[in-house]
Amino acid sequence: MQPTKKVLIIEDDVFLGDVLVEKLKNAGYEPVLARDGKEGYDKIKEIKPDLILLDIILPSMNGYEILEAKAKDAEIAAVPVIVISNSGQPVEINRVLALGVKDYLIKAQFDPGEVLEKVSKELNLSETPAMASKDLNGKKIMWVEDDKFLSDLISRKLSTQGSVLVHAASGEEAIQKVEKEMPDILLLDVLLPGMSGFDVLQKVKENPATKHIPVLMLSNMGQRSDFEKSDKLGAKKFLVKATVTLDEIVQEIKNLI
């Protein structure tokens, strides 16, 4: 029988800290909560947890300082960290990734189920993700998105599903790749440099070799005219990015494949 995995939560938000403790305890982990940055860092050294859930804005010692100090201490440097942050700004996410963070969650999109999935993945107890990944295991998903931050997010999310990800950063690149790669589904941003997502959609559907590929359109805006144009050109679904989570995008992919 495997020993219970210890998860240290460093979070000063009382409600969120308590929710995480309860969820982890119910999932069979041993959660330890610290509500202060310095206390959290001392706990890392004291209990040497299997995983850390770390807030960035903390009293007495912030998340960046904890990560920097942890990286310099050989005894705890290897402990994996998942950041739970108020900010989804690319510059901040890139900063924590550069400090060795394994993954991150944005509080505005907080989903306890996703927290458990990420914890399970990092601790190699991925029974739940493995079950969830069956539908997409080995499926080739092509993602056309010029926003690097968003591309990294979807890439990380889909990699947990066992899918093969092909990325294109422009419409022209997508047209070059789609017939060569023949993905099982095409995720297509509307706003792209040069050729728009609608232009790509039209060319994909006009090509006899690729017209059968289901297309999921994504946009920053939800204008009725865009929905109607997407439908007329043959897309299977149109989603507004601000109104859906990554989990919901994955579910839509499963529905369409």
Angle at which helices 148-159 and 246-256 pack, to 10 degrees? 60
pLDDT tens per residue across span 77-105: 999 999 988 876 667 777 887 888 888 88
- What is the reported pLDDT for 152? 76
- What is the reported pLDDT for 102? 84
pLDDT tens per residue across span 95-153: 887 888 888 887 776 677 778 888 888 887 544 433 344 468 888 999 998 877 777 77
- What is the reported pLDDT for 110? 66
CB contact burial 209-237 (16+ within 10 A = b; e otherwise): ebeebbbbbbbeeeeeebeebbeebebbb
- What is the reported pLDDT for 98? 80
Q: Point out which residues pair with 237 in neighbouring strands.
A: 216
3-state secondary structure labels for all residues of 218-243? EECCCCHHHHHHHHHHCCCEEEEHHH
Q: Which helix (H) or strand (E) holds 7?
A: strand 6-10
Chain centroid to CA 93: 12
Give 10-residue mean pLDDT values along the chain (257 residues). Answer: 84 91 91 96 96 95 95 93 80 78 78 80 57 66 84 75 85 93 94 92 96 92 86 92 77 87
Domains of the chain with CATH codes: 6-125 (3.40.50.2300), 131-256 (3.40.50.2300)
Sign of the C-alpha dihedral, residues 176, 182, 187, 190? positive
Decide if 40 contacts 8 (C-beta within 8 A): yes
Amino acid making up residue 41 = Y
Q: Sort 163 into a burial class: Cβ within 10 Å, 0-12 / 13-18 / 19+.
A: buried
pTM of full prediction above 0.75: no
Which residues 6+ apart lie within 8 Å of 203 measured at CB?
A: 175
